[in-house]
Amino acid sequence: MIILSVILIIAMIGIDQITKLLVIKFIELDEIINVIKFGSHEIFSLTHVRNKGAAWSSFSSKTTMLTIITLILIVGLLLLLFVKPLQKKLINREVNVAEVVSFSLIISGGIGNLIDRIRLKEVVDFIKADFINFPIFNFADICVVIGCFLFIIDILVSDAKENRKKRANSEKTDEQI
C-alpha cells in the first residue's frame, strides 16, 4: 500500500506541476483560451490567473497561514497513511485501499499548491468552467476534491457495512435466545 501511495502522490504532483509550467510558458497572465464552445456559449476555457489565497480567493493576504495549515494537514495525512499505531488509535481500523487513494490524492493536491505558494507566493490556476459561476482552479484542486469525495464515500460505505454486520450479529444472537 505504501508503494501505491508514493507512486500516486509523485504522479499527481508531476501532472500538476507540468500543467502549471505549461500554462506559465504558453498562456499569458489573464489570457483566455476557449476550449469548448456551444454556439455563442462558452463551456470550458483555459484562463491563466494567479491566486494568493484559497478557493474564491479567500484568505488572499494569508499565504503564510495557508502554507502552515497545508503543511500540518499533509503531515497528518502522511502519518495516517504510514504509521500503523496512529491509524488504530485515531480511526480505530487499518487504512484500506480507498483511503490510501483518497489520502494520496489530497496529499498530492496539497503539495502541488504548496509548491506554488513557496516558489511563487501564489497559486497558478487555469481551468475554468464557463457555464457556471465557479472559481478558476487547477489540477491540484481536482486531486483534493476527488480525494475528499472518495474519503466520504468510503466512510459511508464502511459505516453501511458495519451496520449490516451489527444487525446480522444481533439477529444471530436473537435466534440463539
Using CA atoms, how far residue 98 sits from 7, 12, 77, 87, 89, in Å, is 15, 16, 14, 14, 19
Q: 77: Cβ–Cβ under 8 A, 6 or more apart, which residues?
A: 103, 106, 107, 110
For 151, the grid coordinates are: 474519503
Question: Which one is catalytic: 116, 130, 141, 174?
Answer: 141
Helix (H, G, I), strand (E, B) or coil at 7: helix
The answer to whether residue 174 is catalytic is: no
The answer to whether residue 130 is catalytic is: no
Question: Which one is catalytic: 125, 130, 154, 159?
Answer: 125
CA distance 160 to 172: 18
Residues assigned a catalytic role: 125, 141
